């Protein structure tokens, strides 16, 4: 019942985000990769996390398929479930930021309103958006998981880019097209962007 929420009183603990951040010697940030399936989000996020880890940062990578095998295994791919999927990820990411971590997330996250809610949840200063703008034609040519072929046959409904829209970011912090930029080049570019944002 809505009234029951009146009895929820959050605790304030002595060890807070600022202290955890100081102990880890880094600024907690959420690096949000968005783009079509097959665009290269997970590949870039994985390579970037390796790069950051090698440089001493404490990180965690949240990936769409991995999260759907556990936390969000009860959700389907209806529009309502997609909205809830991203809402939950935003909450989890915010907890990880509170732990002082640099969080990387790789999700199609097709709706602009959902990405904006995540940004508001974690704070705009803590949110870095990377748009992996690889074209639908290239993503479908790659079809790394065989999903586009199934979507074209009608075996998958509400598939982003085919039967469900993708709302591209209008002002991302960085736009990466993996058709023209290698993984190594992309990581170098993102690393330059993050150079001062992650350091205390």
DSSP characters over 101-163: -EEEEE-----HHHHHHHHHHH-GGGEEEEEE---HHHHHHH-TTSHHHHHHTTSSSS-BTTT
Over residues 143-156, the mean pLDDT reads 93
More confident residue, 35 or 157: 35
pLDDT for 2 beyond 90? no
pLDDT for 6 beyond 90? no
**Helix, strand and coil percent figures for the chain, each rounded to 5:** 45, 15, 40
Mean per-residue pLDDT of the chain: 93
pLDDT at 93: 97
Among 129, 139, 77, 125, smallest CA distance to 106 is for 129
User: Which residues are marked as active site?
Assistant: 109
Over residues 2-12, the mean pLDDT reads 70
**Which positions ≥6 away from 195 have C-beta within 8 Å?**
none
Over residues 37-57, the mean pLDDT reads 96
pLDDT digits (tens, 9 = 90+) for 162-175: 999 999 999 999 99
51: exposed, middle or buried (C-beta count within 10 Å: 0-12, 13-18, 19+)?
middle
Given 3.40.50.720, 3.40.50.300, 1.20.1250.20, 3.30.70.920, which CATH number is that of 25-194? 3.40.50.300
DSSP H or E stretch at residue 61: strand 59-63
Over residues 186-196, the mean pLDDT reads 94
pLDDT for 96 beyond 70? yes
Over residues 37-45, the mean pLDDT reads 96
Question: How far apart, in whole angstroms, are the C-alpha atoms of residue 128 and residue 27?
Answer: 12
């Amino acid at each position: 019942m809505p009234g029951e929420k009146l009895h929820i009183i959050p605790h304030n603990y002595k060890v807070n985000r600022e202290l955890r951040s100081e102990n880890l010697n880094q600024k907690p940030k959420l690096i949000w990769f968005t783009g079509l399936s097959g665009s290269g989000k997970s590949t870039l996020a994985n390579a970037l996390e390796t790069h950051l880890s090698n440089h001493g940062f404490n990180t965690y990578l949240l990936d769409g398929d991995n999260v759907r095998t556990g936390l969000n295994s009860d959700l389907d791919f209806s529009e309502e479930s997609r909205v809830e999927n991203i809402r939950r990820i935003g909450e989890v990411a915010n907890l990880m930021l509170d732990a002082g971590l640099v969080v990387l997330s790789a999700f199609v996250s097709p709706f602009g309103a959902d990405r904006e809610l995540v940004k508001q949840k974690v704070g705009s200063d803590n949110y870095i958006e990377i748009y992996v703008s690889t074209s639908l034609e290239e993503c479908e040519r790659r079809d790394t998981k065989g999903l586009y072929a199934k979507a074209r046959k009608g075996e998958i409904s509400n598939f982003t880019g085919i039967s469900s829209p993708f709302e591209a970011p209008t002002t991302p912090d960085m736009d990466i097209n993996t058709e023209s930029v290698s993984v190594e080049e992309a990581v170098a570019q993102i690393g330059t962007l993050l150079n001062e944002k992650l350091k205390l």
